[in-house]
Amino acid sequence: MALVLPASVTVLTPATSANLGPGFDSLGLALQLYNRFEIEEGGSDPSNPYIEIHGSLGAGLSRGPDNLFFRSFALLFERLQIPLPAVRIRVSTNIPPGCGLGSSATAVVGGLVAANEWLRIMGLHDLVMPKEELLILAVEAEAGNHPDNVAPALLGGLVATTSVGGKIEAIKTPFPDALKAVIFTPAFPMDTIAGRKLLPTSYPKADVTFNTGRVALLLTALQTGRYEVIGEAMQDRLHQPYRQALFPAMPDIIQAAIDAGAYGACLSGGGSSLIALASSHFTEILHAMQGTARAAGVEGTGKILRADQTGARVIKTSRNRIRKDVRARYGDQFCWSPARPGVR
């Protein structure tokens, strides 16, 4: 029997910024900042992986079986009713958790993409899922079941999402290369659940109309190059004014970004990060945001990022050759692929 290297998959998943002002729970943008996930066959207990986490930003992440990347990896095997392999996981974190940049979405999407690629390298090609089906599972696995972070993390670019008859519809459009995102991330996180509890259960018609008009304006401005209207298009009345209670300095920092040359700025997702869109003066904008925050007693870090147009991708695999002991473990699924549960 030939010696075979362990199967392994490495996935890179981008940060995301949801809402972009008026697109509450429906718009999301992928950014060129990444968490990296490496998973390798090893260990003896499929339900209890060995997990290493690298980077100070990941200090609070679970190293047990409740780790979100592992749970998402295992979800695909569970849904397809095939055995879960025993694995070792290495996570390299560059995206701060709890700061509105889609850290949890990278884990969900990364786990599903890694599992999907695992099926491919094990020869189970008929079970490999298209991205549309992976998105359904990603929304299911994401806390709150919102698609606005997991969709751009999976697809890249600017993604508009909605639910139609219980089915998630996601349409990706390229984000203009002329624009960059200037990100200011305060030293404190903002609890998404706590932020949502501040939102009203219903809204005045005028506020809903205000937001729908600005979503249309924002999407049109981005596609036609009318960047001068982005500032007005990123205004919001549905979530940002209420979340301001958790971040009182937010309006002043947003205004500082605009005064320094940004077209517009807003809260990124549920916060605490702020995102400003600009085509020039990036460093000046970031310094203005940091300076205004510091004057209000808020410390933080900043980044200048391009949009990621690709989404999560597999950057490395090792392919196992099928052998007798592997065939015995997976049974006849190497000879034919059973229909997916619920799929005919």
Give the residue ranges of the annotated binding site. 96-106
Binding-site residue numbers for ATP are 96-106
- Structure-token pair, residue 271: 């916060």
Query: Could you tell me the end-to-end alpha-carbon distance of the chain, in angstroms, rounded to an integer?
Result: 37
Strand order in the sheet with 274-278: 264-267, 274-278, 180-186, 300-305
Angle between helices 103-121 and 68-80 (to 10 degrees): 40
Task: Report helix, strand and coil shares of the chain as percent, to nearest 5.
Answer: 40, 25, 40
Residue 159 burial (CB < 10 Å; 0-12/13-18/19+)?
buried
Pairwise CA distance, residues 342 & 80, whole Å = 10
Distance of CA 117 to the CA centre of its chain: 19
- DSSP helix/strand/coil, 141: helix
Assess contact for 14 and 31: CB atoms under 8 A: yes
- DSSP helix/strand/coil, 320: coil
> Over the range 301-331, which residues count as b (16 or more CB within 10 Å of their CB) and which as e?
ebbebebbbebbebeebeebeeeeebeeebe
- AA letter at 251: P
